Amino acid sequence: MTLPRGVERHAFGGETSLATQGQPVYGERTDGDWRRWDPHRSKLGAMLEQGMDTGLDGGETVLYLGAAAGTTVSHVADFGGPTYAVEFAPRPVRELLDAAESRQNLFPLLKDARKPGSYAHVVEPVDVVVQDVATRGQARVAALNKRFLGDDGRLLAAIKARSEDVTADPDAVFDNVREELSAEYELLETARLDPYHEDHLGIVARPRE
């Protein structure tokens, strides 16, 4: 597995885990500056843990959709460049602001990822869009935010089957999402994120011209 610069496997007591350097955010284990990146709490962490080729080198400019209280996006900001964190629920954004306090490169935005025009004046073109919105219409959210990616950009998305249809077979949901996404993106790799996240699909994709 190739890890981005700034992400390492680190020993926490007897357990070795992915880790980044920064202030702790969600009660994760720490060792000096190192903080455990828990793949059970983070879909992007699970994608790295599963060995998916995310193309991340470290230092990228990132647009993160569905930042919640900052669990994953804080790790991203630890190894990334400027990191724009979009979240539309006011409650988690308060905690996200706390995570941003010690991270000069993390910019929380209380915005709706289905309305990219509302943050287009703030967000510069980015190298990577990370998406974890767990809402109906996840392929559409990715399509709407393609405008921020250059030709060499990457989409790293986690698709939650139950957010699209609670009753449908997850594999059927993933087939539909893959098909819809393929209109706007070339899919480079997809993989189920079990056992870390049940009925979630990780996707690495690049924008079609």
149 binds ligand SAM (CB under 6 A): no
Tell me: is residue 135 an annotated ligand-binding position. yes
Q: How many residues bind ligand SAM (CB under 6 A)?
A: 18
The yes or no reply on residue 135 touching ligand SAM (CB under 6 A) is: yes
Minimum separation from the CB atom of position 202 to ligand SAM (A): 12
Annotation-wise, does 167 bind a ligand? no
Is 174 flagged in the annotation as binding?
A: no
We find the least distance from the C-beta atom of residue 151 to ligand SAM, in angstroms, to be 25
Site for ligand SAM contains 107 (CB under 6 A): no
Give exposure, 74-108, as e/b (b: 16+ Cβ within 10 Å): bbbbbbbebbbbbbbeeebbebbeebbeebeebbb
Q: Is 133 an interacting residue with respect to ligand SAM (CB under 6 A)? A: yes
Question: Of 6-45, which residues contact ligand SAM (CB under 6 A)?
Answer: 42
Query: Mapped to the 3 state alphabet, what secondary structure does the chain carry?
Result: CCCCCCCEEEEECCEEEEEEECCCCCCCCEECCEEECCCCCCHHHHHHHCCCCCCCCCCCCEEEECCCCCHHHHHHHHHCCCEEEEECCHHHHHHHHHHHHCCCCEEEEECCCCCHHHCCCCCCCEEEEEECCCCCCHHHHHHHHHHHEEEEEEEEEEEEHHHHCCCCCHHHHHHHHHHHHHCCEEEEEEEECCCCCCCEEEEEEEECC
Question: Does residue 134 interact with ligand SAM by CB under 6 A?
Answer: yes
The interface mask with ligand SAM, positions 63-92, x = CB under 6 A, is ---xxx--xx-------------xxxx--x
We find the least distance from the C-beta atom of residue 205 to ligand SAM, in angstroms, to be 18
Q: Is 112 in the site for ligand SAM (CB under 6 A)?
A: yes
Q: Which residues bind ligand SAM (CB under 6 A)?
A: 42, 66-68, 71-72, 86-89, 92, 112-114, 132-135
Q: What residues form the annotated binding site for S-adenosyl-L-methionine?
A: 71-72, 87-88, 112-113, 132-135
